[in-house]
Amino acid sequence: MSAGRDAMSMPPPLPVPTHLAPTPGRGRLQLKDISIAYGEGAARRTVVERFDLDVEPGEFVCVLGPSGCGKSTVLNAVAGFVPAARGLLEVDGETIQGPGADRGMVFQQATLFPWKSVLENVAFGPLMSTGSTSTAEQRARTFLSLVGLAAFEKHYPSELSGGMQQRVGIARALANYPRVLLMDEPFGALDAQTRAMMQEALLNIWAEFRTTVLFITHDIEEAIFLGDRVVVMSANPGRIVADIRVDIPRPRTPEVQFSETFLAIKRECFAHIRSETLKAFAHQQNATALS
C-alpha cells in the first residue's frame, strides 16, 4: 500500500498518559563476554565472539553492522531464542533463560497474527499475562492510540499497509510494558518514504514511553538518527569494533541529518562499515576458492 496513506494517518503528538511511563531505573541490559556458535562438530561456526555491551535503563542503542555479522543473533540471544555458548546475559541483574514478556520484540516482518484483529493483536501480551480479555483490550486501546491507530482496531492486519502493520507490531510489543524493546531491522522491508515516517513515529512513541531499546539495523543514517549510541559490529566473527555516542539533542527532526555532528558520526560509521564489508567479501571469496 502507498506511503501516502501512512503519511495521512501519522500519529499526532499525544499527551503522555502518566501510567504509561515505565518504572524509572528499570531495563538495564548487560551482555558480558558473549560467544554464540551454530552447528555441530566440524561445521560449528562462531557467529558472535567476545561481545560486551552495557545498556543503561531508558537508553536507545543501535547495533549497526554489515549483513551476516551476527547482529540479529545477538538480539535473538537477548530475546532468549538463541543460547549463548559462553558469557552472561542479564536484564536488571536477572539472567536471561528463554523468551519472556519482559523483553518485547519487533520483527522485520510485523508477524501480526492474521486471525486476530488489530486490537486483539495488541491485546495478546496482556491477555497472556492477565487472562482477562477486558483488561487486555483496555490496555491495548491505550497503546493503539499511542501509535495513532485507534481507528483501525477492528481491522485485520491484512487490511493495513506495511507501515501501519509495523506500528501495530510496536504497540503489541509495548503493551507488555517490557523492560527492553528489541527491534530487528523493523523498517527494513518498508519503502524509503514510509521508513522515514516510521523512524520519526518511533522517536515520538519512545519519547513518551522511555523504555530501553536495542535496535538492529544495517542503515547508517537510521542508526544515528534514532540512537543515543551506535555500536558498530564486525563480521566473522561478530565483534564490537566501535561504540559511538550520538550527541545530537532530542527531540530530533529529519533536518539533524545535515548537521555537522551527524555527518561526522556518519563518516566514522561509514569507514568502519566499509572496511568490515571489504573484509567480509574477502572472507567469502576465500571460502569459495577453498571449496
Partner 1 sequence: MTAVETASERAQRAARPKLLPARLRAALPRTRLLTTLTAASLFALWWLAAHYAWVNPLFLPSPKAVWDAFVRTATVGYQGSLLHEHLIASLYRVLAGYALACLVGIPLGIVMGLSRDVKAVFDPVIEFYRPLPPLALYTLIVMWLGIGDASKVAILFLAALPPLTISSMHAAASVDPRYVKAAKSLGANSRQLFRHVFLPACMPGICTGMRISLGFTYTVLVAAEIVAATAGLGWMIWDASKFLLGDIVIMGLFVLAFTGMALDFLIRLAERALTPWRFR
Q: Is 115 in the site for partner 1 (CB under 8 A)?
A: yes
Binding partner 1 (rule: CB under 8 A), the pick from 31, 79, 180, 220 is 79
The label of the residue with cell 517490557 reads 178
Interface residue with partner 1 among 104, 163, 186, 238 (CB under 8 A) is 104
Considering the complex, state which of residue 169 and residue 237 has its C-beta at the smaller distance from partner 1. 169
Q: Which of residues 211-270 bind partner 1 (CB under 8 A)?
A: none
Question: Of 135-174, which residues contact partner 1 (CB under 8 A)?
Answer: 156, 158-159, 172-173
Nearer to partner 1, 213 or 280 (CB): 213
Q: Write down the least CB distance from residue 160 to partner 1, Å.
A: 11
Nearest approach, Cβ of residue 129 and partner 1 (Å): 6
Beta carbon nearer to partner 1, 81 or 270 = 81
Whole-angstrom distance, CA of residue 141 vs CA of residue 168 = 11
Q: What's the chain look like in SS3?
A: CCHHHHHHCCCCCCCCCHHHCCCCCCCCEEEEEEEEEECCHHHCEEEEEEEEEEECCCCEEEEECCCCCCHHHHHHHHHCCCCCCEEEEEECCEECCCCCCCEEEECCCCCCCCCCCHHHHHHHHHHHHHCCHHHHHHHHHHHHHHCCCHHHCCCCHHHCCHHHHHHHHHHHHHCCCCCEEEEECCCCCCCHHHHHHHHHHHHHHHHHCCCEEEEEECCHHHHHHHCCEEEEEECCCEEEEEEEECCCCCCCCHHHHHCHHHHHHHHHHHHHHHHHHHHHHHHHHHHHHHC
Segment contacting partner 1 by CB under 8 A, of 55-63, 104-112, 188-196, 241-249: 104-112
Least distance from C-beta 226 to partner 1, angstroms? 21
> Is 101 an interacting residue with respect to partner 1 (CB under 8 A)?
yes
Q: Which is nearer to partner 1, 130 or 253 (CB)?
A: 130
Please identify, among the stretches 108-116, 139-147, 227-235, 283-291, the one whose residues bind partner 1 according to the rule CB under 8 A: 108-116
**Which of 100, 137, 188, 241 is close enough to bind partner 1 by CB under 8 A?**
100
Residue in the block written with cell 497503546? 143
Specify whether the CB–CB gap between 152 and 164 falls below 8 A: yes
Smallest gap from Cβ 214 to partner 1, in A, equals 13
- Count of residues near partner 1 by CB under 8 A: 27
Residue with Cβ nearer partner 1 (181 or 273): 181
Half-sphere exposure of 236 (CA within 13 A, CB side): 13
Binding site for partner 1 (CB under 8 A): 79-81, 99-101, 103-105, 107, 109, 111, 113-116, 124-125, 128-129, 156, 158-159, 172-173, 176, 182
